[in-house]
Amino acid sequence: MEKIPTIKEIAKRLKVSTSTVSRALHGHPSIGLVTTMRVNKVANELNYVPNQAAISFKQRKTFTIGVILPDFSDVFFSAALSGIEDCVSKRNYNVFIGQSSEDPAKEKRILEAMKNQRLDGIIISISKNTTDYGVFEQLKKYNIPVVFFDRIPGMEDIHYSACNLQSGMLQAIDCLTDKGHRSIGLINGPSQLLASKERLDGYKKGLHKHQIDINNDFVVSSDLSPAQNYYAMRRLLSLEQRPTAIITFNDYVARDAIAVVKNSNLVVNRDISFISFANSPIWSFMDNSPLASIEQFPKEQGVKAAEILFKLIDYRIEETPSTPVFHRAVFDSSMISHKVNFRA
């Protein structure tokens, strides 16, 4: 088996020290140009490849971060991942990607695996069912920084990149009331999600702004599965006095709710109007779209999460502040109107 060339072999050929070779390979200013050129020439002749494990050990870095997403197929999370990878590539880092599939047990296993690999840091959007945050406390003990994005846990003292959902919700209710709606429903997400609470708070604030009494029957929750989305919409349709407009947790919930409305021989955005969160591209392929969607800027959230993580990694390697600083970036959500057609 062919022997793998090392720094020692280069040093032996040139009759210099291994430290000189190492500095020359890294372009250290203390090594002259001629010596640097000679070292690189021999390294190329020997097909020398740096020992990444040794470099990582010396620099206390693996040059790899972990990213955990609930669902790879969701265009929101794929857009966020694109933003993260744009930032990571500029730092010449690698990315290990894990999919929790909305399963807290799987999410925990992925986090444990990333901890055992001593990755330099982790970016995560938690699953919709995650309620136990103990594993994140463990990561602190191993000095592995974690940055949350979009779906963040109800924890104090965390770093995150997220969206202010109330701003978009208020715009949505303004839009619907301008069109004459006073009976506005909400199909929300799982109650344990902080994002669901933010939507509900914004919904109540918007109704209060327009002096509309809150009808608790108009607020239903879904676990975000199609079956639950259908059930939530049918429940609203079964009311004696049903809503004339509905705001949904995201575009996928809206898609399922719209299907129920059409199957009930009602006309979307005439009999019942919709506004959804996320503003995903799916509506360009659909016959019926909501009046508007609320943009949550997933790519921008991902970029900012990565920037925060690298700041934390640099702090850890260089000098950890005596007083912890928690980095938080919040983007205001914004309603985007759609061109809609009235089709049964």
pLDDT by residue (tens digit) across 66-81? 999 999 999 999 999 9
| Spatial separation of the C-alpha atoms in residues 258 and 249, rounded to whole Å | 13
Least confident range of 138-152, 229-243, 304-318? 304-318
Q: Are residues 213 and 89 in the same domain?
A: no
Structure tokens at 105: 């047990």
Q: Which of 219, 267, 274, 273 is nearest to 252 (CA)?
A: 274
C-alpha 298: how far from chain center: 7
Q: Are residues 238 and 193 in the same domain?
A: yes
Domain of residue 159, CATH code: 3.40.50.2300
pLDDT at residue 197, as a whole number: 96
Q: Are residues 111 and 215 in the same domain?
A: no
- Ordered alpha helix ranges (H), the chain: 7-14, 18-25, 33-45, 52-59, 75-90, 104-116, 134-141, 165-178, 194-209, 226-237, 251-263, 298-318
Residue 60 has pLDDT above 50, yes or no: yes
Total domains in the chain come to: 3
Q: What is the mean pLDDT of residues 121-131?
A: 96
Burial class (CB in 10 A: 0-12, 13-18, 19+), 185: buried
| Spatial separation of the C-alpha atoms in residues 170 and 44, rounded to whole Å | 62
251 part of a folded domain: yes
Q: Are residues 78 and 147 in the same domain?
A: yes
More confident residue, 23 or 204: 204
| Spatial separation of the C-alpha atoms in residues 208 and 204, rounded to whole Å | 6
pLDDT at residue 313, as a whole number: 92
The last residue of one of the domains, among 297, 315, 338, is 297
Q: Are residues 315 and 285 in the same domain?
A: no
Structure tokens at 341: 């057609």
* Domain ranges, residue 28: 7-50
Q: Are residues 114 and 159 in the same domain?
A: yes
Q: Are 172 and 335 in contact (CB under 8 A)?
A: yes
Q: Cβ contacts of residue 6 below 8 Å, gap of 6+?
A: 48, 51
